[in-house]
Amino acid sequence: MKAFVVSRYGPKGLEPAGAAEPLVGEHDVLVEVRAASINPLDKMVRDGEFKKLLCYSPPFVLGHDLSGVVTQAGAGVTGFSVGDEVYARPRDLRIGGFAERIAIDEADVALKPTSLSMEEAAAVPLVALASWQSLVDLARVQPGQTVLIHAGAGGLGSTAIQVAKHLGAYVATTAHTKDLDKVRSLVADELIDYTSQSFADVLSDFDVVLDSLGDASLEKSLTVLKAGGLAVSVVGPPDPEFAKQLGKSLLGPVMALMSRKVRSKAKKLGVRYSFFFMHADGAQLAHLASLYDSGALRPVLDRAFPFSETLEAMAYVESGKANGKVVVSMA
Residues 137 and 93 in one domain: no
Residues 80 and 207 in one domain: no
Say how many residues make up the chain. Answer: 331
Which CATH number covers residue 238? 3.40.50.720
Residue 52's pLDDT band, with cuts at 50, 70 and 90, is: confident
Q: Which helix (H) or strand (E) holds 160?
A: helix 155-166
pLDDT in tens, 192-216: 999 999 999 999 999 999 999 888 8
Give the domain-ending residue among 260, 275, 290. 275
Q: How many domains does the chain have?
A: 2
Please state, in angstroms and rounded to a whole number, the distance separating the CA atoms of residues 259 and 65: 29
Is 299's pLDDT higher than 90?
yes
Is 247's pLDDT higher than 80?
no
Q: Is the pTM of this model over 0.75?
A: yes
Residues 210 and 222 in one domain: yes
Residues 133 and 265 in one domain: yes
Give the pLDDT confidence score for residue 58 in this predicted structure. 95
**Beta carbons of 193 and 178 less than 8 angstroms apart:** no
Q: Containing domain of residue 161, as a range?
A: 126-275
Q: From residue 92, how far is each of 6, 12, 42 by CA, in Å?
A: 15, 22, 12
Residue 230's pLDDT band, with cuts at 50, 70 and 90, is: very high
Residues 70 and 211 in one domain: no
pLDDT in tens, 305-316: 999 999 999 999
In a domain, 231, yes or no: yes
Residue 7's pLDDT band, with cuts at 50, 70 and 90, is: very high
Is 248's pLDDT higher than 80?
no
3-state secondary structure of 124: coil
Q: From residue 159, how far is each of 124, 188, 189, 315, 324 by CA, in Å?
A: 8, 11, 15, 22, 9
Give the pLDDT confidence score for residue 251 in this predicted structure. 74
Percent of the chain clearing pLDDT 70 (strictly above): 100
**Average pLDDT score, the chain:** 94
3-state secondary structure of 119: helix
CB-CB neighbours of 100 under 10 Å: 16
Which CATH number covers residue 43? 3.90.180.10
Is 261's pLDDT higher than 80?
yes
Give the pLDDT confidence score for residue 101 in this predicted structure. 98
In a domain, 294, yes or no: no
In a domain, 284, yes or no: no
Among 90, 97, 105, smallest CA distance to 38 is for 97
